[in-house]
Amino acid sequence: MTGSTIATELMEEKHTAVPPSLLSRFSTLLPYWKAAATMIDMVLDIVVMIKYYTRGDLGFAWACFVCLFSNLALQSLFVVFAYRQKSLWQNCREQLYIWTLIKPAIDVHRVLNEEAKHISTHENTIMSYRAEYTTMRIIEITTECVPGSIIQAAAMLASGEISTVIIVSFASSLVTSAMISANISFDWDVSTEQRACDPYFYGYIPKSNMA
C-alpha cells in the first residue's frame, strides 16, 4: 500500500460523517454526567464562598461571589439576547433555569432531542441548542471555573488552611474546565451535521477511534 493510498483513505475517513450509531454510546449517560458535574461545581463554589466568609476571609469570599455572579449574569444576558423573539413566559422560564443552576441539564436534554430529530435551529431563536449549550459552557469556563480555581489556590496558599471541601471544590473546578473544553471540541467534531457541512474543518477524530 503506497503512501498516497494511505493518505487518500485517511482523508476519506476524515470527511465522512460519523453515523449516529457510533454516537449513541456517547449521547445517553455521558452528557448528563457532564451536566451534573457542572452543577455540582457551582454548588461547591457556593459552599466554599460561605466557608471563606464564615472564617473571615472576606476578600476571597467576595472574589468567589463575583466569579459565580458574573457567570450567571452573562448567561442571563445571553438568554435575553438569544430568546428576544420569544414570549415573556419563555424568557422568565429560561432565567429560572439559570438562577436555580439547572440550566446545564436542560441544555443537554435539548441538545440530545435536537440531534435525535435532526433539527438545526429552533423557533424564534438565533442559534441551535448545541450552539447555545457551547456558548453557556464557554461563559462558565471563562468567568467561573478558571478564575475560581485561581482564587481557591491563592486562598490555600495565603491561609495555609486546607479543608476537604476546599480541596474537592478546587479539583472539581479543574476537572470541569478540562472536561468541558475537551467535550466541546469532541462533540462538535463528531457531529454528523458538522462533518457533512464542513468536512475540511471537522473530522480530526477518526471513525476508527469512535468504535
What is the mean predicted confidence (pLDDT) over 110-126? 66
Given a contact cutoff of 8 angstroms between Cβ atoms, the answer to whether 23 and 189 are in contact is: no
Q: Is the model more confident about 148 or about 126?
A: 148
Enter the pTM of the model.
Answer: 0.75
Least confident of 6-10, 59-63, 116-120, 167-171: 6-10
Closest alpha carbon to 71 in 145, 171, 2: 145
Least confident of 20-24, 104-108, 145-149: 20-24
Least confident of 71-80, 160-169, 192-201: 192-201
Length of the chain: 211
